[in-house]
Chain A
Amino acid sequence: MPEPVHPAGGATPSSTSFAVVTDHLTRRFGDLVAVHDVNLRVAAGQFFGFLGPNGAGKSTTIKMLTGLLAPTSGQIEILGLDFSTQTTSVKRQIGVVPEGLALFGRLTGAEYLTFVGRMYGLDRETTAKRTAELLDFMQLANEPKKLVTDYSHGMQKKLALAAAVIHGPKILFLDEPFEGVDAIAAGTLKSMLQRMIAHGATIFLTSHVLEIVERLCSHVAIIHHGALVAQGSLAELRAGVEAQAAGGSEISAGSKLNLEEIFLRMVGGTRSAEQELSWLG
């Protein structure tokens, strides 16, 4: 297994230039170590993909980074602030779309966004203006009386993203934002995220859809069995895997590994199906 790869240049920037830093982040559930000694570095302005097989510790990590779960040990620093002591200051500067979307089903979309804006401390006029703009951008303005509980899954994801950005966060945490979303809604979500990156925000997302991560993210980290196995730019990860395979015949000369291949090599996910499950089909 390759050693963790770190950002290009090898120099260690001061922690204030990082949007997210974790030091020895660990979370145990009884005897199970879900996240073990994770040292993440996400530079400000990066579109960062956090990958891992099911049960690897992705959701646990993102929950700790957003305050939904307390770490057993280790430090979290967001935008140079210690999360454990400056929780409210950190929360003001981040936006979150958690796994459960965190919606209030018996409000309309507009009421929900108004509520969220006010909870983030926006004044009434700003909240109303941004709510109208977000509903329009997300194509949710056509059914103003519809309750959130009646929204389709794609509409709910769009609304959750709108709520996560209404206060103009500097970092956006997204847990599986493209799961169960059709191509049209996914297009709207991607367009919103790319706008945010263009305006200097940092985006941290988990996803199982490696093609999307490869297309959107500039940097990636891979977690496996709770431990970080790699992090860096795609080129760095590719170079790391190729270096490991150097001398072997595994990678044909001239071919370029895609993210899926890099991922499978790092987590050891290749398995021959020929000798197993012979009863299938």
Chain B
Amino acid sequence: MAGITDTPPTSAQLGAIANVRWQVFLHSLRFKRGALELFSWIVIGTIITGGGLGGAIVLGLGAWFSVSEGKPDGLALLLWPVFLFWQLFPVMATALSESIDASNLLRFPLTYRAYVLVRLAYGALDPATLLGSLWLVGIALGIGWARPGLFLWALAVLFAFAAVNMLLTQMIFAWVDRWLGQRRTREIFAVVFFLAMISLQLIGPMLSRYGDRSNAAFHRAGQFANPVQAVLPPGVAAAAISHMASGTTPPALALLGVLGLYGGAILRVLSVRLRAQYHGEHLSEVIGNAGLRKKSEGIGLGWSIPGLPREAAAVVEKEFHYLSRSGPVLLTFITPIVMMFVFGLGGRSGNAAGFLQNWPELALPVGSAYALLLLTNLIYNNLGPDGSGIQFFLVSPASFRDVMLGKNIAHMGVLAGELIALWIGVFLLFRAPAIETVLITLSGLLFAAPINLAAGNLLSLYSPKKTEFGTFGRQRASQTTVLTSFAIQILVFGLAAITLLIARYYKREWMAIVAFLGLAALAFILYRFALTRVDTIAARRREILTTELCK
């Protein structure tokens, strides 16, 4: 057909995609919500840039010191933290990462090359990549300041190192998404990930507990680890700069080549996933059919909760079904208990990892606060996992008050379960928490929880964002929600800390209980007020709710 080439030019397609993204961004600014999101992004971006520049200055000074002191090998000590941050931050701060649904692109005649380039371009917009790149620029400037002749070489090596990091992040996420795409692999992955996290956390307490013996073991491990780190990307990059600094060009060039090989190898592994996606891979959730071809044997009765309207009870039941089917969400629920065991395993006095052994009375309140903090991920966007189910809430006769009440009760049920588990943990690790501690913890939660629930209910209506419970990484929360959540946590934890400090100063713990109960009464009034408003707000914002959640 006239006007159509067999292979559309990649540059034109990439230009079209960039143009569409830009137009979508511009159109989003037409709405108040889009402008609010932009404002939140600017605030968060400023914080990230501040951290990036601060880190770049510190790392730059470190690089300058290392090279000017004639110890360029020490650059590995700077490159390793950058490397670890680059790989771990996207996992920990999923709310700040941009996601891409590749399936939308595949209906166009996009070449594989163009597809890969689009994926990589999205990766380059990740905050971890931006921060990591900024820090590497700082290191390069530090090296150039100490030895101007080394600047261009350092820039080339660090550029290759940055490319390796970016590709590795993409590769990790591509494979993690693959493992999380199916229930069976998701469960295996969740267990492995959980064990890995626990193992990492256990290193500190173990080293502390076994004292000198562990120091000796640590030294032995160090002797083994040093050659290993030297052949990994941060070590290779540091060695490439170090060799050039000492005038031995051939090994320096060879090491740069090794970085290139790393990049190539990672790209190769990444391309296995990208090719599968490019060819229209569909990962089904379906378990083996054999186990399913069994006709339903009677339908169970729905939940009935005394004192609760049946609509709210139905929502509580639905929320528990949802929560129980999400491995990643369940992991976040048990994290506070695991962390308490980690920090409670002990260590010598003054060691951070064993601080709960020194102050066991803090275990319950700190663990509870941490549990509530993790729960805010759900509380602040409680309609997100419902997706197009929001339409049902809008057309059904049930009030949003009951819907939100049901969700809040389900989340508080989770918190109550965690509190009981934490109490048992404290009892097993140390001793039964003092009644005073339990009362302070409960009264503190009675103050903090209603405020978070009230804010969560309102933000869920004002700033909804569709989320998927079954997915682990790269789900963007609304930036407005992220920012507001920060502000509320600062307020709540600040007030709680001041209350506790005053009570401690006067050595009268009961003062904290009384103060928390007073604040709890105010918080509960606020919660009730917010709950009475949700029906009006939902009716007013029904278009935004359906637009955002039915995407």
Residues of A with Cβ closer than 8 Å to B? 66-70, 88-89, 91-92, 94, 96, 98, 100-107, 110-111, 113-121, 123-125, 127-129, 131-132, 135, 141-147, 149-150, 163, 279
Contact = CB atoms under 8 A, between A and B. Distances in A.
Nearest to A114: B302
A91 B396 contact: yes
Interface of B: 1-3, 284-287, 291-302, 304, 310-311, 313-315, 317-318, 321-322, 325-326, 385-392, 394-399, 469-470, 539-540, 542-543, 546, 550
Contacts of B396: 91, 116, 119-120
A129 B300 CA distance: 10
B291 A145 contact: yes
Contacts of B389: 102-105
Contacts of A142: 292-296
Nearest to B325: A106
B397 A91 contact: yes
Given A70-B539, A104-B392, A119-B314, 17 more contacts: A69-B543, A88-B399, A91-B396, A98-B395, A100-B546, A102-B390, A102-B391, A105-B387, A105-B389, A106-B325, A107-B318, A119-B315, A119-B396, A124-B301, A132-B296, A144-B296, A150-B285
B36 to A, nearest CB: 19
Contacts of B284: 150
A71 B315 CA distance: 29
Contacts of A96: 391, 395
A117 B399 CA distance: 15
Contact of B298 (A104, A132, A279): A132
A107 B286 CA distance: 13
A66 to B, nearest CB: 5
Contact of B286 (A100, A125, A150, A279): A150
Contacts of B1: 279
A143 B302 contact: no
23 contacts: A92-B397, A98-B395, A101-B391, A104-B318, A104-B322, A106-B321, A106-B322, A106-B470, A107-B318, A107-B322, A111-B321, A114-B299, A114-B314, A116-B392, A118-B314, A120-B397, A121-B311, A121-B397, A132-B299, A146-B292, A147-B285, A150-B285, A279-B1
Nearest to A89: B397
Contacts of B300: 110, 114, 128
Contacts of A92: 397
Contact of B311 (A105, A118, A145): A118
A118 B388 contact: no
A216 B543 CA distance: 31
Q: Which 9 A-B pairs have the closest CB atoms?
A: A118-B314, A102-B391, A100-B388, A144-B296, A102-B392, A91-B397, A124-B301, A104-B389, A100-B550
A46 to B, nearest CB: 21
Contacts of A121: 310-311, 397
A118 B3 contact: no
A150 B388 CA distance: 15
